[in-house]
Amino acid sequence: MSDYQTSPQHRVRQVARRAHYDRETVHAILDEGLVAHVGFMAAGGPVSLPMFYVRDGESVLVHGSRTSRFMKTLAAGAPLCLTVTLIDGLVLARSAFHHSMNFRSVMAHGSATPVPVEEKPRALDLFTERVEAGRSRVARAANAIELKATEILRLPLIEVAAKVRQGGPNDDAEDMDLPVWAGVVPVSQVPGVPVEWPAGKVEA
């Protein structure tokens, strides 16, 4: 299935059988990840910037301080590459060469545009909901000063590719009888027990 009409230059070339261009795969990865790494050219050279993000239909939103040099660069429409990577496992092969990693990733290319001020409250709610479902109805909503201080950028999902590796090691036929354990050590990102924070006690 190929919902996204990703142009040739942004399609997966390396191990192309792992590529996916359907909405279901792309959305599932974006909805599970918490941090995107946004690549772009800054004044001092290329940057790969970790950013909290949230998917909003067929776009991805990122946010940050309006005064940040990087946010200014991105808000001005700098070409960017937004990548989300989920690690699912370490793949232990019989040969060193075939050791690998199971992963699911999405790479989206394009330019972001600032979310207009009238759409900011809804967009901020999406971020708050991503932290905890229902949370936007509980936490004190952003006031005018906070809304103004926050830049929210929207990247449309147009030039998109997912890449997925799963399963075991691709050992060579002649290595299959080596007396070496081969398999997968699953890796996952899990939440722990919530820790309440007393009033007045801020960032450590």
Residues 180-199 that bind a second copy (CB under 8 A): 180-197, 199
Does residue 117 belong to the site contacting a second copy (CB under 8 A)?
Answer: no
Q: Which two tokens stand for residue 49?
A: 């910037």
**Per-residue binder mask for a second copy (CB under 8 A), 126-155, x = binder:** -xx--xx--xx-xxxxxx--x---x-----
Does residue 115 belong to the site contacting a second copy (CB under 8 A)?
Answer: no
Residues with Cβ within 8 Å of residue 58, at least 6 apart in sequence: 156, 157
Selected binder of a second copy within 1, 5, 45, 134 (CB under 8 A): 45
Give, as ranges, the residues between 50 and 69 that touch a second copy (CB under 8 A).
50, 52, 64-65, 68-69
Say how far apart CA 129 and CA 131 lie, in whole Å: 5
Q: Which two tokens stand for residue 52?
A: 């909290």
Say how far apart CA 177 and CA 180 lie, in whole Å: 8
Does residue 122 belong to the site contacting a second copy (CB under 8 A)?
Answer: no
Q: Are strands 100-110 and 159-165 parallel, antiparallel or unpaired?
A: antiparallel
CB of 32 to a second copy, least distance (A): 12
